[in-house]
Structure 1
Amino acid sequence: MEIQSDEINDKNFFDFKVKEALIIENLNEKISENLLFSLWNLAIQDNKYFLITSNKPISTYKFKLPDLKSRVSSCVSIGIKLPSDDLISVIIAKNFSDKQIIVKKKHIDYII
């Protein structure tokens, strides 16, 4: 189940009970802390997958709820950086290759 953080409501809590995983996209400070904490607890209790995406590390959010702060401090946070030009070049070349299209390196360099 995937949901934008600004669309989270009480109904999502009940929907999540029958799902295996929850992805909260684009976390922002407007989210209901009580509801976020409840969803997090449900994930732990029922051994479900729980993923939060955000433009900044979750540890930088100023949550007021002490239990939610504790959950945040114990979670694993991973940053994904922008790919290098070399990586993009390899991905583009692979996509062309998968489609059996021969492209010269100079053309891939031009695309980048």
Structure 2
Amino acid sequence: MTEHQPRQLAFDFPPGIALGPDDFFVSEANRLAFAMLRTPGDWPEGKLVITGPIGCGKSHLARVFHLQTGARVIAASDLVDGPPPDGPIVVEDMENLPAASETAMFHLHNHQRNIGQPLLMTSALPPARWPATLPDLVSRMQATTVAPIDDPDDALLTVVILKLFSDRQIVPPPNLAPYLAQRIERSFAAAADIVERLDKLAMAEGKDISQRLAAALLDKPVDLE
């Protein structure tokens, strides 16, 4: 943990939520992806793609895999051709792979297969919707096993809201996260949006974050931009 990270806060987590490595919260929405991440020796051809919407925890899972295996983590947008390291690799945000990097990704894929080391990829989109056009790369990517992270259930959404408050170093009232989880769209983006808007509203009005303030915001959303 770096000195700039928010301190860990103690929460009463909803029933059925487990704490995985590096405080990754496991629920039915992400249980498959988390389980597959933990067993890279079982991945077909040694590769796996974790897919899911922005904010669902893909990067968090990439860090769990890094801690588990020592894997090098690379952004797809930064991928360049060259001698790859001899070990596990994570390539994040494959939907952002530049056209100029497709050959480098093809070589990396083959290198990992040849040395018997796992290749983990993350993306907001399934491989069939990636913009890659290099035929050999496309065929190999579309043959990769996909572990989706689904839209959050109420339990995971509650924990995500708690985490978002924690990231802002806010300790919300005990019942606020479940209250919000039951009243917003069931998505990671909606959770991020409500926490941001509630934080802005509280600062603009000089009030503490509360269920009453949240009720007012949900009844009549306020644009503070």
Q: TM-score w.r.t. structure 1 length? A: 0.70
Q: For residues 106 and 177 of structure 2, what CA distance do their matches in structure 1 show?
A: 47
Contact 2:103 / 2:134 at 8 angstroms: preserved in 1? Answer: yes
The residue identity in structure 1 corresponding to 2:139 is S
Match of 1:17 in 2: 85
Contact 2:77 / 2:97 at 8 angstroms: preserved in 1? Answer: no
Distance 1:73 1:88, change over 3 A: closer
| Cα shift at 1:25 | 0.7
Alignment of 1:86 with 2:155, yes or no, is yes
**Residue from 9, 30, 37 that aligns with 2:98:** 30
RMSD: 2.4
Deviations 1:67-100 (CA, angstroms, capped at 9, x unpaired): 11220222112221232113444797xxxxxxxx
Deviations 1:54-74 (CA, angstroms, capped at 9, x unpaired): 111111124222211220222
Q: For residues 48 and 41 of structure 1, what CA distance do their matches in structure 2 show?
A: 10
**1:19-98 pair list within 5 angstroms:** 20-27=87-94, 28-31=96-99, 32-89=101-158
| Cα shift at 1:109 | 2.4
Query: Stretches of 4+ moved more than 4 A in 1?
Result: 88-92
Contact 1:58 / 1:72 at 8 angstroms: preserved in 2? Answer: yes
Match of 1:6 in 2: 77
| Cα shift at 1:110 | 3.7
Contact 1:22 / 1:49 at 8 angstroms: preserved in 2? Answer: yes
Contact 2:76 / 2:97 at 8 angstroms: preserved in 1? Answer: no
Q: For residues 90 and 6 of structure 1, what CA distance do their matches in structure 2 show?
A: 30
Q: For residues 62 and 90 of structure 1, what CA distance do their matches in structure 2 show?
A: 33
Q: For residues 141 and 108 of structure 2, what CA distance do their matches in structure 1 show?
A: 13
Contact 1:2 / 1:22 at 8 angstroms: preserved in 2? Answer: yes
The residue identity in structure 2 corresponding to 1:47 is G
Gaps of 5+ in 2: 1-71, 163-172, 182-225
Gaps of 5+ in 1: 93-102
The percent identity for this pair of structures is 26
| Cα shift at 1:108 | 5.3
Distance 1:30 1:88, change over 3 A: same
Q: TM-score w.r.t. structure 2 length? A: 0.38
Matched position secondary structure for 1:53: strand
